[in-house]
Amino acid sequence: MWLIYDPFTMISLILAYIVGFTILLFAAGYLAPRVARKFTNKFSLQASMIIIGLIIIVAGFAGVGITSYLLASLFSVEDATGLITSIILMVLVLNIISYLVSPLTINIMYGAKRNAQLQELVNDVARKLGFSKPPKAVLVNGPPNAFAYGNFLSGKYVAVTTGLMEIATTDELKAIIGHELGHHRHKDNTIMLFMGLIPSLLYFMGVFLMRVGFISGYARAYANKRRGGEGGLLLVIVGVLAVALSFIVQVLVLAFSRLREYYADSAGAFATSSRSMQRALARIHLYYNTNRVAREVVASSKIKALFIYAFTEAYANPFYRHQPIDRDIRNIDVDKVVEELKKTRTEDISEFFSTHPPIPKRIRFLDTLVFHYMEAP
């Protein structure tokens, strides 16, 4: 089977990883901060989402188109179409199965339980955001966090952890619930599923091209030594470039995900107030910055992309970084923490490999909101 890597394919993959990561490090360390600043200064959140989304789609389909054209030029159109279709179907089937079974998996894995008190809060916020039918509210065990999940079969869920219920005030809880309902309203689960398919498709097509390149190279060289498998070498080179491109597109998908988090934050602010959303983010961030074990739980979670809080390190850490772990988070002056976070520098390359923006940036973004909240891309 072509998915079983031979030594030559492994060497080519290593080369593709080296090329991809070299480009990524340069892009994340030098280009991305400058581009991000220009986007922030020149484009609205909605315009930025449209632009990044279009770049992902165009880059992805261009990569797929080029590899498809190359296959069709070296083999028959029928063979090339069949090979490409099989790859697309494989990627689609794997992702759709994951999408369909994930709600059941999450419910079992986290021991999700319906909670009447939480459901009342969700109902209240859902009315504010214009939901005709509020999602199901479930309580799960864990450190302070929340996430939205579900599909058309299981229905929509908003999960809040026991830890968050303990440390957040009612207004802060409503802001966080508003954030999660924003993900549902904006159809982020479906949109991010589609966006994630593009780099996956490029990656598997790249690996496939490498395999076909080696096989066709051997066959051509054996049948005609004069040609020396040049067509096979071309396929391998394009395969390496396709894998490297999949890495770049994946970073763009992560950038798109961060924009969706800002968008969900605006829903949380609209449901309550910008200040309530800021306080909620600051309180959760403070908790994780004083609790190493809780941070490791988030970092190791398989569904951390769904969380309202996914840790992103920053070069300059807030003044409260070394506060005792057993400090009562509910009794702090959270407004002081919010103001301090606004001043926190967040120039960190790790941000560009994260699904979530750093909390200081999210808090600063909330200061820019002038409310006419509506559905957007």
* Chain CA centroid to CA 34, Å: 21
Over residues 297-317, the mean pLDDT reads: 73
* Chain CA centroid to CA 51, Å: 17
User: Could you tell me the two tokens for 99?
Assistant: 């999408």
Check if the beta carbon of residue 298 is closer than 8 Å to that of residue 220. Answer: no
Q: Which carries the bigger pLDDT value, residue 377 or residue 41?
A: 41
Q: Which carries the bigger pLDDT value, residue 308 or residue 26?
A: 308
Q: Which residues are catalytic?
A: 180
Looking at residue 344, its amino acid is: T
Of 21-30, 107-116, 164-173, 322-331, the poorest mean pLDDT is in 322-331
- Euclidean distance between CA atoms 183 and 57, whole angstroms: 21
- Four-point Cα dihedral 129, 172, 370, 42, nearest 10: -100
Residue 307 is given by DSSP the state: B
pLDDT at 358 over 70: yes
Residue 368 is given by DSSP the state: T
Of the candidates 283, 277, 252, 255, the one whose C-alpha atom is nearest the C-alpha of residue 373 is 277
Over residues 363-377, the mean pLDDT reads: 71
Check if the beta carbon of residue 189 is closer than 8 Å to that of residue 180. Answer: no
**Distance between terminal CA atoms of the chain?**
40
pLDDT value of residue 37: 62
The pLDDT-based confidence of 9 (bands split at 50, 70, 90) is low
Q: Which carries the bigger pLDDT value, residue 83 or residue 198?
A: 198
Complete DSSP assignment for 52-65: HHHHHHHHHHHHHH
pLDDT at 240 over 80: yes
Q: What residues contact residue 62 under an 8 Å CB cut-off, 6+ apart?
A: none
From edge to edge, which strands make up the β-sheet containing 155-161?
A: 113-114, 136-140, 155-161, 146-151
pLDDT value of residue 63: 87
Which of the residue ranges 51-60, 88-97, 115-124 has the most confident prediction, judged by mean pLDDT?
A: 115-124
pLDDT at 335 over 60: yes
pLDDT value of residue 262: 95
Residue 96 is given by DSSP the state: H
Over residues 26-51, the mean pLDDT reads: 70
- Euclidean distance between CA atoms 269 and 266, whole angstroms: 5
Residue range 174-227, pLDDT digits in tens: 999 999 999 999 999 999 999 999 999 998 888 888 877 777 654 454 445 444
- Euclidean distance between CA atoms 109 and 113, whole angstroms: 12
- Euclidean distance between CA atoms 215 and 148, whole angstroms: 45
> 3-state SS of 5-38?
CCHHHHHHHHHHHHHHHHHHHHHHHHHHHHHHHH
Helix (H) / strand (E) element for 136: namely: strand 136-140
pLDDT value of residue 292: 78
pLDDT value of residue 318: 39
pLDDT value of residue 1: 42
Q: Which carries the bigger pLDDT value, residue 2 or residue 172?
A: 172
Which of the residue ranges 51-60, 274-283, 313-322, 339-348 has the most confident prediction, judged by mean pLDDT?
A: 274-283
Of the candidates 322, 278, 61, the one whose C-alpha atom is nearest the C-alpha of residue 176 is 278
Over residues 309-317, the mean pLDDT reads: 59
Of 191-205, 244-258, 294-308, 310-324, the poorest mean pLDDT is in 310-324
Check if the beta carbon of residue 202 is closer than 8 Å to that of residue 4. Answer: no
What's the mean pLDDT when you consider all of the chain?
A: 82
Check if the beta carbon of residue 207 is closer than 8 Å to that of residue 10. Answer: no
- Euclidean distance between CA atoms 187 and 149, whole angstroms: 10
The pLDDT-based confidence of 40 (bands split at 50, 70, 90) is low
pLDDT at 311 over 60: yes
pLDDT value of residue 356: 92
Q: What residues contact residue 82 under an 8 Å CB cut-off, 6+ apart?
A: none
Over residues 103-128, the mean pLDDT reads: 95
pLDDT value of residue 79: 75
Q: Which carries the bigger pLDDT value, residue 233 or residue 229?
A: 233
Complete DSSP assignment for 137-195: EEEE-SSS-EEEEEETTTEEEEEEEHHHHHH--HHHHHHHHHHHHHHHHTTHHHHHHHH
